[in-house]
């Protein structure tokens, strides 16, 4: 059976076919969970928040305004739930010290190219986890889900220019973290 658009399944659910919701969950669960996990850095909490997000979306499906995409809507729900969870648990966001020196991107790229695929993935994930939760969200949505800045602004409730600034800063910080991680790795091998 050819995959239908999200709107088709939403209509089916609203007409009483609740099992169609499972198809929506199946389609978006990875990205919703990825967002929750990158923000909370804990698998159990991320799973719980992702489930709550789908449940909340189901309860409010009638109020879903079809001007935006379902994915944008569910990402916004999971983002808000994760932010509330972080605030409730008063988790601190790690940040890079301001006095750290920016590293040479070309050098980082060369080191990354010399790594195996699996190691490269590990280092990127590790560097990404060093960013603040909103930076990780923006990076994930922009580079992994290829969402335009306007959609990210809707999800994070930031202005488009603010998203652009954060994106630029997050990218720079990711490169810096990667550079430091690779430097430590090479030093430990020597």
What is the binding site for other proteins (CB under 8 A)?
A: 18-19, 21-22, 25-26, 29-31, 33-34, 37-38, 46-47, 50-51, 54-55, 58-59, 62, 93, 95, 105-106, 109-110, 112-113, 117, 120-121, 124-125, 128, 132, 134, 139-140, 143-144, 156-158, 162, 166, 171, 174-175, 178
Q: In the bound complex, what is the minimum distance in angstroms from residue 170's beta carbon to other proteins?
A: 9
61 to each of 10, 22, 27, 56, 57, how far by Cα in Å?
A: 8, 14, 16, 8, 6
* Structure-token match 């059976």, residue found: 1
Of 23 and 72, the one with the shorter C-beta distance to other proteins is 23
What is the DSSP track for 102-157? PPPHHHHHHHHHTS-HHHHHHHHHHHHHTS-HHHHHHHIIIIIS---HHHHHHHHT
Q: In the bound complex, what is the minimum distance in angstroms from residue 185's beta carbon to other proteins?
A: 16
Say how far residue 63 (Cα) sits from the centre of its chain: 25
Q: Fill in the DSSP letter of residue 66.
A: T
Of 132 and 190, the one with the shorter C-beta distance to other proteins is 132
Of 33 and 190, the one with the shorter C-beta distance to other proteins is 33
Q: In the bound complex, what is the minimum distance in angstroms from residue 92's beta carbon to other proteins?
A: 11
Spatial separation of the C-alpha atoms in residues 103 and 131, rounded to whole Å: 16
Of 71 and 132, the one with the shorter C-beta distance to other proteins is 132
Spatial separation of the C-alpha atoms in residues 172 and 73, rounded to whole Å: 28
Q: In the bound complex, what is the minimum distance in angstroms from residue 95's beta carbon to other proteins?
A: 8
**Token representation of residue 187:** 């030093």
How many Cβ atoms are within 10 Å of 12's Cβ, its own excluded? 17
Q: In the bound complex, what is the minimum distance in angstroms from residue 121's beta carbon to other proteins?
A: 5
Of 31 and 81, the one with the shorter C-beta distance to other proteins is 31
């Amino acid at each position: 059976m050819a995959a239908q658009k999200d709107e088709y399944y939403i209509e089916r659910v609203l007409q009483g076919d609740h099992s169609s919701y499972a198809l929506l969950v199946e389609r978006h669960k990875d990205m919703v969970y990825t967002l929750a996990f990158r923000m909370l850095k804990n698998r159990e909490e991320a799973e719980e928040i992702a489930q709550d997000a789908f449940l909340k979306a189901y309860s409010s499906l009638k109020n879903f305004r079809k001007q935006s995409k379902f994915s944008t809507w569910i990402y916004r729900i999971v983002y808000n739930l994760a932010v509330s969870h972080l605030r409730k648990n008063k988790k601190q966001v790690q940040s890079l010290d301001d006095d750290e020196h920016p590293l040479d991107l070309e050098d980082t790229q060369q080191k990354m190219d010399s790594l195996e695929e699996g190691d490269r993935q590990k280092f990127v994930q590790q560097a990404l986890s060093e960013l603040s939760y909103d930076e990780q969200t923006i990076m994930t949505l922009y580079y992994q889900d290829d969402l335009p800045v306007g959609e990210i602004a809707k999800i994070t409730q930031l202005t488009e220019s603010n998203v652009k600034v954060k994106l630029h800063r997050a990218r720079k910080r990711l490169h810096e973290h990667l550079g430091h991680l690779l430097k430590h790795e090479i030093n430990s091998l020597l």
